[in-house]
Amino acid sequence: MEPDDHTHTPMTPRLVSIDGRYTIELELRPLSAPEHRDWLGYDIRMIDVTTGARCSLEMADGHQLFLDRVNEPEAPALAVGLRTAIERGTPYVFEPIDERDFRLEVTPEDDRARVRLRFADTASPDEFAWPKGALVTREALLSFASAIERAFAEVQKHYKP
């Protein structure tokens, strides 16, 4: 499969851990191929800011990563799930519908949450806070959820009705 062109600027919400060591980035972008009009493209990465090490899931060799944008819009569902986990104090797990390429787990703990990011085909190394996960503030997680919603709305503008 040929990758979609990347003439559109991707939107990249970021979540930073309490200690500032880890950043999770979820890059959303529109797809231009007509056969992909019901989908968004995405990349997701976890970065250890102190060492510069990265663990990522990104489009490669023409293999596009998809999130549903029409039937069961996944980016807004992820944002709602993150917000609900914080507001209710309940765990939340997100995996993309298409191929379950990654798993994002959120476990609220008092005024913060523990976030774990796992990739289906890549081992999660110790330097990325495994197996415990990275701690984030409630505010940071809520801000991340809002940024995902804004990114989704912005990417939606690139699709014609």
The DSSP line for 93-148 is EE--TTT--EEEEEEEETTEEEEEEEETTB---GGGTTTT-EEEEHHHHHHHHHHH
Q: What is the pLDDT of residue 131?
A: 65
pLDDT of the chain, 161 residues: tens digit per residue: 344 444 556 789 999 999 999 999 999 999 888 898 899 999 999 888 998 888 888 876 567 889 999 999 999 999 999 999 999 999 999 999 877 888 899 999 999 999 998 887 666 555 565 567 899 999 999 999 999 999 999 999 988 76
* Residue 4 maps to a domain: no
Distances (CA, A) of 140 to 30, 63, 148: 25, 31, 12
* Residue 7 maps to a domain: no
Q: What is the pLDDT of residue 3?
A: 43
* Residue 118 maps to a domain: yes
* Residue 21 maps to a domain: yes
* Residue 22 maps to a domain: yes
Q: Tell me which residue range forms the domain holding 24.
A: 14-156
* Residue 6 maps to a domain: no
Q: What is the pLDDT of residue 108?
A: 96
* Residue 52 maps to a domain: yes
* Residue 1 maps to a domain: no
* d(C-alpha 64, C-alpha 73), whole Å: 17
Long-range contacts of 32-38 (CB under 8 A, 24+ apart): 32/4, 32/5, 32/7, 32/8, 33/2, 33/4, 36/4, 36/64, 36/66, 37/70, 37/159, 38/68, 38/69, 38/70, 38/71
How many domains is the chain built from? 1
* d(C-alpha 42, C-alpha 26), whole Å: 7
Characterize the bridge pairing of strands 22-30 and 39-48: antiparallel
Q: What is the pLDDT of residue 44?
A: 92
